[in-house]
Amino acid sequence: MKVAFAGTPEFAAIALRALIAAGFDIPLVLTQPDRPSGRGQKLVTSPVKDVALAHGIAVHQPEKLRDPATHAPLIAAAPDVLVVAAYGLILPPAVLDIPRRGCVNIHASLLPRWRGAAPIARAIEAGDLETGITIMQMDAGLDTGPMLLAERLKIGPDETAESLTDKLANLGGRLIVEALTRLDSLKPTPQPEQGATYAAKIDKAEGRIDWTRPAVEIERRLRAFDPFPGSTSQLGETTLKLWHAELAEGAGRPGEIIAVGPSGIVVACGEGALRLTELQKPGGRRLPAADFLRGFPLAAGERFSSPGNS
Protein backbone atom coordinates (compact mmCIF):
# COMPACT_ATOMS: atom_id res chain seq x y z
CA MET A 1 0.00 0.00 0.00
CA LYS A 2 1.32 3.44 -0.98
CA VAL A 3 0.73 5.84 1.90
CA ALA A 4 1.27 9.58 1.58
CA PHE A 5 1.47 11.50 4.86
CA ALA A 6 0.49 15.01 5.95
CA GLY A 7 1.50 16.38 9.34
CA THR A 8 3.67 18.95 11.07
CA PRO A 9 4.50 18.70 14.84
CA GLU A 10 6.14 15.94 16.86
CA PHE A 11 2.72 14.36 17.45
CA ALA A 12 2.58 13.66 13.71
CA ALA A 13 6.28 12.75 13.44
CA ILE A 14 5.74 9.86 15.85
CA ALA A 15 3.00 8.49 13.59
CA LEU A 16 5.22 8.88 10.53
CA ARG A 17 8.02 6.96 12.26
CA ALA A 18 5.55 4.18 13.09
CA LEU A 19 4.46 3.92 9.46
CA ILE A 20 8.07 3.81 8.27
CA ALA A 21 8.94 1.14 10.84
CA ALA A 22 5.92 -0.92 9.72
CA GLY A 23 7.29 -0.97 6.19
CA PHE A 24 4.69 1.06 4.33
CA ASP A 25 5.71 2.57 0.99
CA ILE A 26 5.66 6.35 1.62
CA PRO A 27 6.23 8.27 -1.64
CA LEU A 28 5.47 11.78 -0.32
CA VAL A 29 5.17 13.79 2.88
CA LEU A 30 3.26 17.07 3.13
CA THR A 31 4.15 19.43 5.96
CA GLN A 32 3.89 23.14 6.69
CA PRO A 33 6.56 25.52 5.35
CA ASP A 34 9.68 26.21 7.42
CA ARG A 35 8.93 28.99 9.94
CA PRO A 36 11.13 31.58 11.66
CA SER A 37 11.60 30.81 15.33
CA GLY A 38 13.53 32.00 18.37
CA ARG A 39 15.32 35.26 19.00
CA GLY A 40 17.32 35.00 15.80
CA GLN A 41 14.18 34.18 13.79
CA LYS A 42 16.01 31.40 11.98
CA LEU A 43 13.94 29.20 9.70
CA VAL A 44 13.08 25.97 11.48
CA THR A 45 11.93 22.77 9.81
CA SER A 46 8.99 20.82 11.19
CA PRO A 47 9.57 17.54 13.07
CA VAL A 48 7.72 15.73 10.26
CA LYS A 49 10.05 17.20 7.63
CA ASP A 50 13.07 16.15 9.68
CA VAL A 51 11.84 12.54 9.78
CA ALA A 52 11.02 12.52 6.07
CA LEU A 53 14.42 13.89 5.04
CA ALA A 54 16.20 11.43 7.32
CA HIS A 55 14.50 8.59 5.45
CA GLY A 56 14.88 9.99 1.96
CA ILE A 57 11.17 10.72 1.48
CA ALA A 58 10.11 13.54 -0.85
CA VAL A 59 8.65 16.59 0.94
CA HIS A 60 6.03 19.08 -0.28
CA GLN A 61 5.44 22.29 1.73
CA PRO A 62 2.62 24.39 0.27
CA GLU A 63 1.43 27.48 2.16
CA LYS A 64 -2.15 26.49 1.33
CA LEU A 65 -3.86 23.87 -0.79
CA ARG A 66 -6.50 26.02 -2.51
CA ASP A 67 -4.52 26.37 -5.73
CA PRO A 68 -4.86 23.22 -7.88
CA ALA A 69 -1.20 23.63 -8.87
CA THR A 70 -0.20 22.72 -5.28
CA HIS A 71 -1.91 19.34 -5.70
CA ALA A 72 0.47 18.16 -8.44
CA PRO A 73 3.06 16.39 -6.22
CA LEU A 74 0.32 14.43 -4.46
CA ILE A 75 -1.31 13.48 -7.76
CA ALA A 76 2.07 12.35 -9.09
CA ALA A 77 2.72 10.26 -5.96
CA ALA A 78 -0.54 8.36 -6.66
CA PRO A 79 -1.06 7.19 -3.06
CA ASP A 80 -3.64 4.61 -2.08
CA VAL A 81 -4.22 6.48 1.18
CA LEU A 82 -3.28 9.88 2.63
CA VAL A 83 -2.74 9.77 6.40
CA VAL A 84 -3.28 13.14 8.12
CA ALA A 85 -2.11 13.99 11.64
CA ALA A 86 -2.02 17.55 13.04
CA TYR A 87 -1.19 18.95 9.61
CA GLY A 88 -2.57 22.44 10.24
CA LEU A 89 -3.97 23.03 6.75
CA ILE A 90 -7.50 22.40 5.56
CA LEU A 91 -7.73 19.79 2.80
CA PRO A 92 -10.15 20.91 0.08
CA PRO A 93 -12.45 18.30 -1.52
CA ALA A 94 -10.15 18.10 -4.57
CA VAL A 95 -7.31 16.88 -2.32
CA LEU A 96 -9.54 14.48 -0.38
CA ASP A 97 -10.42 12.85 -3.69
CA ILE A 98 -6.83 12.22 -4.84
CA PRO A 99 -5.93 9.06 -2.86
CA ARG A 100 -7.56 5.95 -4.30
CA ARG A 101 -8.85 4.84 -0.89
CA GLY A 102 -9.37 8.24 0.63
CA CYS A 103 -7.81 10.18 3.51
CA VAL A 104 -7.49 8.88 7.06
CA ASN A 105 -7.03 11.15 10.07
CA ILE A 106 -5.41 10.51 13.46
CA HIS A 107 -7.53 12.61 15.83
CA ALA A 108 -6.57 13.09 19.48
CA SER A 109 -9.99 12.67 21.09
CA LEU A 110 -12.86 10.23 21.36
CA LEU A 111 -15.05 11.60 18.60
CA PRO A 112 -17.51 13.21 18.38
CA ARG A 113 -16.25 14.92 21.55
CA TRP A 114 -13.66 17.61 20.87
CA ARG A 115 -13.70 17.96 17.12
CA GLY A 116 -11.40 20.77 16.07
CA ALA A 117 -7.93 22.18 16.56
CA ALA A 118 -7.11 21.74 20.28
CA PRO A 119 -8.72 18.53 21.56
CA ILE A 120 -5.98 17.65 24.06
CA ALA A 121 -5.92 20.98 25.90
CA ARG A 122 -9.69 21.32 25.88
CA ALA A 123 -10.17 17.88 27.39
CA ILE A 124 -7.89 18.77 30.33
CA GLU A 125 -9.45 22.22 30.70
CA ALA A 126 -12.94 20.70 30.88
CA GLY A 127 -11.93 18.19 33.54
CA ASP A 128 -12.50 15.12 31.35
CA LEU A 129 -11.42 11.88 33.01
CA GLU A 130 -10.53 10.19 29.74
CA THR A 131 -9.70 10.90 26.14
CA GLY A 132 -8.19 8.80 23.36
CA ILE A 133 -7.37 8.45 19.70
CA THR A 134 -9.89 8.09 16.90
CA ILE A 135 -8.81 6.93 13.46
CA MET A 136 -11.40 8.32 11.04
CA GLN A 137 -12.06 8.65 7.35
CA MET A 138 -11.98 12.29 6.33
CA ASP A 139 -14.85 14.09 4.65
CA ALA A 140 -15.51 17.74 3.85
CA GLY A 141 -16.62 18.50 7.43
CA LEU A 142 -14.45 19.34 10.44
CA ASP A 143 -13.58 15.98 12.01
CA THR A 144 -17.03 14.64 11.12
CA GLY A 145 -16.11 11.59 9.05
CA PRO A 146 -16.87 7.95 9.89
CA MET A 147 -14.70 6.24 12.51
CA LEU A 148 -12.51 3.21 11.83
CA LEU A 149 -10.79 2.61 15.18
CA ALA A 150 -10.73 4.21 18.62
CA GLU A 151 -8.95 3.55 21.89
CA ARG A 152 -9.46 5.20 25.27
CA LEU A 153 -6.82 6.69 27.54
CA LYS A 154 -7.25 7.93 31.11
CA ILE A 155 -6.32 11.53 31.93
CA GLY A 156 -4.27 11.61 35.13
CA PRO A 157 -4.90 14.21 37.85
CA ASP A 158 -1.54 15.90 37.16
CA GLU A 159 -1.67 15.54 33.36
CA THR A 160 -0.46 18.49 31.32
CA ALA A 161 -1.09 19.09 27.64
CA GLU A 162 2.53 18.15 27.02
CA SER A 163 2.47 14.85 28.88
CA LEU A 164 -0.91 13.87 27.45
CA THR A 165 0.21 14.75 23.92
CA ASP A 166 3.18 12.39 24.28
CA LYS A 167 0.93 9.52 25.37
CA LEU A 168 -1.64 10.14 22.65
CA ALA A 169 1.05 10.46 19.98
CA ASN A 170 2.38 6.99 20.78
CA LEU A 171 -1.15 5.59 20.83
CA GLY A 172 -1.89 7.27 17.51
CA GLY A 173 1.21 5.77 15.92
CA ARG A 174 0.19 2.28 16.98
CA LEU A 175 -3.45 2.68 15.94
CA ILE A 176 -2.73 4.09 12.46
CA VAL A 177 -0.51 1.11 11.66
CA GLU A 178 -3.26 -1.23 12.88
CA ALA A 179 -5.92 0.64 10.91
CA LEU A 180 -4.00 0.53 7.63
CA THR A 181 -3.09 -3.11 8.14
CA ARG A 182 -6.76 -3.98 8.68
CA LEU A 183 -8.22 -1.46 6.26
CA ASP A 184 -10.03 -4.06 4.16
CA SER A 185 -11.88 -5.49 7.17
CA LEU A 186 -12.64 -2.34 9.19
CA LYS A 187 -16.22 -1.16 8.99
CA PRO A 188 -16.60 2.66 8.98
CA THR A 189 -18.98 3.78 11.74
CA PRO A 190 -20.79 7.12 11.39
CA GLN A 191 -20.22 9.51 14.28
CA PRO A 192 -23.22 10.14 16.53
CA GLU A 193 -24.27 13.78 16.71
CA GLN A 194 -25.10 13.42 20.39
CA GLY A 195 -22.13 14.45 22.50
CA ALA A 196 -20.40 16.44 19.77
CA THR A 197 -18.27 19.33 21.07
CA TYR A 198 -15.81 21.70 19.41
CA ALA A 199 -12.22 22.21 20.60
CA ALA A 200 -11.46 25.77 19.54
CA LYS A 201 -7.89 26.78 18.77
CA ILE A 202 -6.18 28.23 21.86
CA ASP A 203 -5.63 31.96 21.85
CA LYS A 204 -2.65 33.38 23.76
CA ALA A 205 -5.02 35.73 25.59
CA GLU A 206 -6.65 32.72 27.25
CA GLY A 207 -3.50 32.25 29.30
CA ARG A 208 -4.22 35.27 31.48
CA ILE A 209 -5.57 34.00 34.79
CA ASP A 210 -8.92 35.25 36.04
CA TRP A 211 -8.65 34.79 39.80
CA THR A 212 -12.41 35.27 40.24
CA ARG A 213 -12.86 31.78 38.78
CA PRO A 214 -12.95 28.68 41.04
CA ALA A 215 -9.59 27.27 42.07
CA VAL A 216 -10.34 23.88 40.53
CA GLU A 217 -10.99 25.53 37.17
CA ILE A 218 -7.80 27.62 37.25
CA GLU A 219 -5.71 24.58 38.20
CA ARG A 220 -7.02 22.67 35.18
CA ARG A 221 -6.26 25.58 32.86
CA LEU A 222 -2.66 25.75 34.10
CA ARG A 223 -2.21 22.12 33.07
CA ALA A 224 -4.17 22.52 29.82
CA PHE A 225 -2.01 25.47 28.73
CA ASP A 226 1.34 23.83 29.58
CA PRO A 227 3.46 24.36 27.49
CA PHE A 228 1.36 26.61 25.19
CA PRO A 229 0.50 29.38 25.70
CA GLY A 230 1.38 29.18 29.37
CA SER A 231 -0.63 30.87 32.12
CA THR A 232 0.24 34.40 33.21
CA SER A 233 -0.73 36.87 35.89
CA GLN A 234 0.28 40.42 36.67
CA LEU A 235 1.82 41.24 40.05
CA GLY A 236 2.45 44.96 40.21
CA GLU A 237 4.51 45.80 37.13
CA THR A 238 5.71 42.22 36.58
CA THR A 239 4.07 39.51 34.51
CA LEU A 240 4.75 36.08 35.97
CA LYS A 241 4.17 32.71 34.35
CA LEU A 242 2.49 30.19 36.61
CA TRP A 243 3.05 26.57 35.59
CA HIS A 244 1.85 24.31 38.35
CA ALA A 245 -0.49 24.57 41.30
CA GLU A 246 -2.49 22.41 43.67
CA LEU A 247 -5.75 22.98 45.50
CA ALA A 248 -5.31 24.55 48.93
CA GLU A 249 -7.39 25.82 51.83
CA GLY A 250 -7.85 29.50 52.50
CA ALA A 251 -9.94 32.49 51.56
CA GLY A 252 -9.44 36.12 50.60
CA ARG A 253 -10.02 38.55 47.77
CA PRO A 254 -9.50 36.87 44.38
CA GLY A 255 -5.81 37.07 43.47
CA GLU A 256 -4.67 37.88 47.02
CA ILE A 257 -1.62 36.04 48.36
CA ILE A 258 -2.74 34.62 51.69
CA ALA A 259 0.32 32.53 52.62
CA VAL A 260 3.93 32.13 51.48
CA GLY A 261 6.25 29.25 52.31
CA PRO A 262 8.77 26.78 50.86
CA SER A 263 5.93 24.52 49.68
CA GLY A 264 4.34 27.29 47.62
CA ILE A 265 2.41 30.55 47.42
CA VAL A 266 -1.25 30.26 48.40
CA VAL A 267 -3.54 32.54 46.36
CA ALA A 268 -7.25 33.10 46.96
CA CYS A 269 -9.61 32.39 44.08
CA GLY A 270 -13.29 33.04 43.46
CA GLU A 271 -13.92 29.70 45.13
CA GLY A 272 -11.20 28.10 47.22
CA ALA A 273 -7.48 28.72 46.86
CA LEU A 274 -4.45 27.50 44.95
CA ARG A 275 -0.91 26.80 46.12
CA LEU A 276 1.44 27.84 43.33
CA THR A 277 4.32 25.38 43.21
CA GLU A 278 6.12 26.24 39.96
CA LEU A 279 6.63 29.78 38.65
CA GLN A 280 8.73 31.76 36.19
CA LYS A 281 9.79 35.40 36.15
CA PRO A 282 10.50 37.33 32.94
CA GLY A 283 13.72 36.10 31.37
CA GLY A 284 14.03 33.32 33.94
CA ARG A 285 13.47 29.58 34.05
CA ARG A 286 10.62 27.56 35.43
CA LEU A 287 11.43 27.05 39.12
CA PRO A 288 9.95 25.27 42.14
CA ALA A 289 8.34 27.77 44.50
CA ALA A 290 11.14 27.61 47.11
CA ASP A 291 13.81 28.44 44.50
CA PHE A 292 11.63 31.09 42.87
CA LEU A 293 11.09 32.89 46.17
CA ARG A 294 14.83 33.21 46.80
CA GLY A 295 15.15 35.48 43.80
CA PHE A 296 11.66 36.96 43.80
CA PRO A 297 10.32 37.28 47.35
CA LEU A 298 6.58 37.55 47.82
CA ALA A 299 4.52 38.34 50.90
CA ALA A 300 1.00 37.73 52.14
CA GLY A 301 -1.27 40.64 51.25
CA GLU A 302 0.16 41.22 47.79
CA ARG A 303 -2.37 40.67 45.06
CA PHE A 304 -2.29 39.35 41.51
CA SER A 305 -4.46 41.31 39.13
CA SER A 306 -6.96 39.72 36.77
CA PRO A 307 -9.68 40.90 34.42
CA GLY A 308 -11.87 41.29 37.50
CA ASN A 309 -9.50 43.28 39.73
CA SER A 310 -7.12 45.39 37.64
The residue extents of the domains of the chain are 3-199, 204-295
In three state form, how does the secondary structure of the chain look?
Answer: CEEEEEECCHHHHHHHHHHHHCCCECCEEECCCCEEECCCCEEECCHHHHHHHHCCCEEECCCCCCCHHHHHHHHHHCCCEEEEECCCCCCCHHHHCCCCCCEEEEECCCCCCCEECCHHHHHHHHCCCEEEEEEEECCCCCCCCCEEEEEEEECCCCCCHHHHHHHHHHHHHHHHHHHHHCCCCCCCECCCCCCCCEECCCCHHHHECCCCCEHHHHHHHHHHCCCCCCEEEEECCEEEEEEEEEEECCCCCCCEEEEEECCEEEEECCECEEEEEEEECCCCCCEEHHHHHHHCCCCCCCECECCCCC
Structure confidence at residue 306 (pLDDT): 72
Specify the CATH number for 204-295; select among 3.30.200.190, 3.30.360.10, 3.90.1010.10, 3.10.25.10. 3.10.25.10
Average pLDDT of each block of 10 consecutive residues along the chain (310 residues)?
A: 97 98 98 89 94 98 96 98 96 97 98 97 98 97 96 97 98 98 96 95 95 98 97 96 97 96 96 98 96 96 77
Structure confidence at residue 41 (pLDDT): 83
Structure confidence at residue 40 (pLDDT): 81
What fold, for 3-199?
Rossmann fold (3.40.50)
pTM over 0.75: yes
Structure confidence at residue 127 (pLDDT): 98
